[in-house]
Structure 1
Amino acid sequence: MLEGIKVLSFTHFLQGPSAVQMLADVGADVIKIEPPKGAFERGWAGFDAFQEGVSIFFLLGNRNQRAIQLDLRNEQAREVVRRLIEEADVLVENYRPGVLAKLGFGYEDARTINPRLVYCSCTGYGSTGPYQKRPGQDLLLQAMSGMAMLSGDGETAPTPVGSAIVDQHAAALAAFGVLAALQRRQRTGKGCMVESNLLNAALDLQIEPFTYYLNKGPLWKRSSPAMGSRFHPAPYGVYKTADGWIAVSLTTTDKLASAFDSSELAALNHPKDPVRNRDRVHQLVAQALLARTTEAVMRAFDQHDIWYAPVNDYAQVETDPQVAHNGVVMHVDHPQAGPVRLMAHPVRYDGQAPALRRMPPALGEHTREVLAEAGYSAARIEQLLAEGVALAPKTEVEA
């Protein structure tokens, strides 16, 4: 769908790489421009997840791309980038504000080289403002955006989400912004500056509770035991059973009373009781569940049409029939890491996920190829490599 669109990627960590991977998955020619030591994610992985020396963190966000190594401290390398910008449709970067501008590749510089360029900047807090120099990282944004205060037991610490959801949402917003700007360029011929930042993404994820707060005031306090949110009526959240856990959502008290044979819940029969007597309903449900096994609860809930779900760990998610049916996991045979399982592109187009066209690239794997496409002769390419301006893995002959 994006065949013929060339994207230059100055990205590292997760937000930027995930954004360009979405574009690459649907056909864009993404060229990852890396410094001599490579992008950060090549040498780091959460859970210390390396396979045969290859970072799983790198593999999960860099497929369907090409890689070129350039030492941008060198003016000749910067000239290479300027030549690449001339022919590019999109440039995506997620360095701290001002870093690329110091190298001569900020938006104003880039648009001078190529007025049709869509330039996407991914930052922590925005390219301007009082926080522009602060480190932008998922957990920090969950904390300062109010997200961590939405969940958890009211008598214990605020609870962040245990995944980098802000990074990933900001990446999706960046990809969306790029596509919108490309659509406008098709009509007008003009490029655009697109900005996606973690702060805006974190608040966008909270569009419901934050908007309630803005218009009605403070949300309900965090409950003990914990509820699943600070604005839903009870019951809502993950509840402990006699032998495990279960999630219960948005259920009327009459159904709960029947399922638990509870006169106390039956007495709370006004439609507004889950709101007016939220804590009481929550406590009664919590107490009733503690006395029953998870299996017994699920049977009763099925009989009484109560919304619930099992609380799975990853071993159960991995074997879930709907997860398998949706083709969420893709199996890859990486040339160095060997067999690896990765997440497939999340959207389906005519029922299909985009194919894997390129493995996540080795550092500098496509340096020679990209330079040749940019018009450099074979002799000039070898000269740039010999001078350390550009870097590439050794060929079989050189090895």
Structure 2
Amino acid sequence: MSILKDIRVIDCSIAMAGPFAAQRLGDMGADVIKVEPTSGEWQRHAAAGGATGNQINVSFLSLNRNKRSLAIDLKAAEGKTVLIDLVRGADVFLQNYRPGVAERLGVDYATLSAINPRLIYISMSGYGEDGPYRSYPGQDLLLQGMSGAMLSAGAEGEPPAPAGQYLVDAITAYSAFEGALAALFHRERTGEGQLVQVNMLDAITTIQMQELSVFTVGGKPQTRSAERHAHSYIRAPYGVFSTRDGYITLAMASLRKLGEVLDDPFFADMDEEKDGWTQRDAIFARLKEHLPTRDSADWLAIFRAADIWAGPVYGYADLIDDPQIRHNGTFVEYDHPTEGRVKTPGFPIRFSRTPSTVTRGAPLVGEHSADVLREIGRSDDEIAQLVESGVVRQHG
């Protein structure tokens, strides 16, 4: 029997992170109903790497197996009624709308949990449900640049190196999947549903557990060597660009808007899907001419005002001091018996009923051996014998 047999999931998500998480639940046997517009989720029609597929494009195929599709118009009253009826018998509801959209549609947690108190509601966002960045676009490359990870690869003096996959989307998907499973387990014990919040910024930050702890605890800066140690599938512009004082990321910007902002007729007649692929080098070269004329902060303000997707490229020092990171409480601190005050990435999932806490730091070798052995019925004499023989190590 599949582990999630008879678990019903309503998947109202789009793009990668949400569908990937819901697909994982489907892979484990859940009945996943993908609720999408009557025109189909946009990713059905968006080419990946120029691969258009036959009728369904490859990105959609890769993220939506083990699902049934329900195509409805949620803006229509009848469509809303269908969804509400689904919610009454559902176990998990998953969405990655921009903050505020679920409330406008009337499918927010407060509304749906009143209808079905056993519902586990997974809400995914780019930077958090609130805070200074709540309305910023949660796009993979932008979050990679902000995470500090780009400066952990490549050679000294080279531009920051993005990952060759949609890393932040994948990590966020796994966080949502993990949160859904944990909340289902909690419900088995208590009968209670709950709200589970996951955001991309915390997910990509906390997955760098070792690297960031080397920086925050060990005090070692990100120093790249002289030689390289470390998507060709997305149209230009998509990458890291030098500015007058550093670097920024640009992701899939409107070429028309770029031309207007830069006052450059080069972009005026470009077709984004055609020229964005065939003229990638020329577009990159043109941006290399423009962007070094201003500081990063200036460009970010200009691009955000024009709704052009852009973001900073952080090192770890910038990341840990960022206002959204501080607002989210992304890092936790605790006292350790041998390491002193420890600051390290925390747990990226927010449970409304069962919040995570740090009850103890990293244990010493064998610190709890005796306690655990007693819990499974071993006597003190047996424990002593096991320790003496070297089978068990007990600290202290």
Quick check: 2:147–2:204 contact (8 Å CA) kept in 1?
yes
Give 1:187 shift. 0.8
Give 1:48 shift. 1.5
Residue 211 (structure 1) aligns with: 213
Residue 70 (structure 2) aligns with: 68
Instruction: Decide which of 115, 132, 135 is 1:133's aligned counterpart.
Output: 135
Residue 253 (structure 1) aligns with: none
Give 1:60 shift. 0.2
Looking at structure 1, the residues matched to 119 and 220 of structure 2 have their Cα atoms a distance apart, in angstroms, of 44
Per the normalisation by structure 2, the TM-score is 0.56
Looking at structure 1, the residues matched to 101 and 201 of structure 2 have their Cα atoms a distance apart, in angstroms, of 20
1:218-257 matches, cutoff 5 A? 218-228=220-230
**Secondary structure of the structure 2 residue equivalent to 1:54:** coil
1:147-162 matches, cutoff 5 A? 147-162=149-164
Deviations along 1:15-53, one digit per CA (max 9) or x if unpaired, are 000000000011100001111221121011321112223
Give 1:156 shift. 1.2
Does residue 163 (structure 1) correspond to residue 165 (structure 2)? The answer is yes
AA aligned to 2:43 is E
Give the superposed CA RMSD. 1.1
From the superposition, tell whether residues 216 and 109 of structure 1 become closer, same or farther in structure 2 (CA, over 3 Å).
same
Does residue 81 (structure 1) correspond to residue 83 (structure 2)? The answer is yes
Residue 189 (structure 1) aligns with: 191
In the alignment, structure 2 segments of 5+ residues that lack a partner are 231-396
AA aligned to 2:193 is G
Looking at structure 1, the residues matched to 59 and 174 of structure 2 have their Cα atoms a distance apart, in angstroms, of 18
Instruction: Decide which of 109, 118, 134 is 1:116's aligned counterpart.
Output: 118
In the alignment of these two chains, the number of paired residues is: 228
Quick check: 2:152–2:222 contact (8 Å CA) kept in 1?
no
**Secondary structure of the structure 2 residue equivalent to 1:7:** strand
Q: Percent identity?
A: 41
Looking at structure 2, the residues matched to 220 and 151 of structure 1 have their Cα atoms a distance apart, in angstroms, of 9
**Secondary structure of the structure 2 residue equivalent to 1:111:** helix
Looking at structure 1, the residues matched to 130 and 216 of structure 2 have their Cα atoms a distance apart, in angstroms, of 25
Q: List 4+ stretches of structure 1 deviating above 4 A.
A: none
Give 1:217 shift. 2.8
Give 1:227 shift. 3.6
Largest Rg, 1 or 2:
1
Instruction: Decide which of 99, 102, 105 is 1:103's aligned counterpart.
Output: 105
AA aligned to 1:160 is P
1:316-395 matches, cutoff 5 A? none
Give 1:218 shift. 4.5
Give 1:54 shift. 2.1
Higher RCO (Cα < 8 Å, 6 or more apart): 1
Give 1:137 shift. 1.1
**Secondary structure of the structure 1 residue equivalent to 2:123:** strand
Looking at structure 2, the residues matched to 154 and 4 of structure 1 have their Cα atoms a distance apart, in angstroms, of 53
Deviations along 1:149-196, one digit per CA (max 9) or x if unpaired, are 111111110001110111111111111110100000011110011112
Per the normalisation by structure 1, the TM-score is 0.56
AA aligned to 1:195 is Q
AA aligned to 1:182 is L
Instruction: Decide which of 142, 145, 152 is 1:143's aligned counterpart.
Output: 145
Deviations along 1:76-127, one digit per CA (max 9) or x if unpaired, are 1111111111110000011111111111110111111110000001111111
Looking at structure 1, the residues matched to 197 and 14 of structure 2 have their Cα atoms a distance apart, in angstroms, of 16
